[in-house]
Copies of this chain bind each other. A is one copy, B any other.
Amino acid sequence: MTVKYNLDSVKVERAAREWLVERGVQTEQIAKLVLDAQKEYYPALTADECTAAVNRVLSKREVQNAILLGIQIDRFAEKGQLDSPLQELIENDEKLFGCDEVLALSIVNVYGSIGFTNYGYLDKLKPGILAKLNDRTDNECHTFLDDLVGAVAASACSYIAHRQQAKAEQERSGLPGAGETVGASLTGADGAPAD
């Protein structure tokens, strides 16, 4: 007798978060990328706000799906278990293989097109945790993960840009409350594409 399949969303989210940690990526390290990218625009931005933004992005199913799939492929590549020539393409992070960028863009898209630029910039410069993921001195393979982490950071930057706008509009309008609270109101101030 087969057990009927039922999607368990809690399990999926938990797995996505755990797999990130197992592969060496802490939420705080992604938040650091966000803070460094955004502090020139929002000097008062805190590390906690960035962590909250990253957590928000990680709560989206589309993001979780991409993380699970990308890490799974990296794991197989690391163990040499992919079939040739895919194994060589991924193991060597072949420049002309772009499926990792494709998956990453599906994360960025959830928070709208304004994240494209931040994604590309992070992916080119590889600051912080991204540099560590690209350091190929050990036998780890993070062909997909580095792009996914960059995409999560870029999406969190987009989220923050939307939140900061909502806050600024509230302050101008003299409305009470701030941030999250008003974001969920019906004032229309919450124009964030994905929240």
Residue of B with least CB distance to A101: B113
> Which size class do A's interface residues fall under?
35 or more
Q: Do B69 and A7 touch (CB < 8 A)? A: no
Let me know if A162 is at the binding interface, CB within 8 A.
yes
Let me know if A193 is at the binding interface, CB within 8 A.
yes
Contacts of A184 in B (CB 8 A): 184
Contacts of A7 in B (CB 8 A): 88-89, 94, 96, 165, 169
* 27 A-B contacts (beta carbon < 8 Å): A7-B89, A10-B187, A10-B189, A15-B85, A59-B190, A61-B112, A61-B162, A68-B89, A95-B114, A96-B114, A96-B191, A97-B114, A98-B106, A98-B112, A101-B114, A102-B102, A102-B103, A102-B113, A106-B112, A109-B109, A116-B119, A116-B123, A117-B124, A118-B120, A119-B120, A120-B124, A121-B123
Residues of A within 8 A of B (CB): 5-15, 59-66, 68-69, 72-73, 75-76, 82-86, 88-89, 91-92, 94-99, 101-106, 109-110, 112-114, 116-125, 161-162, 165-166, 168-169, 172, 184, 187-195
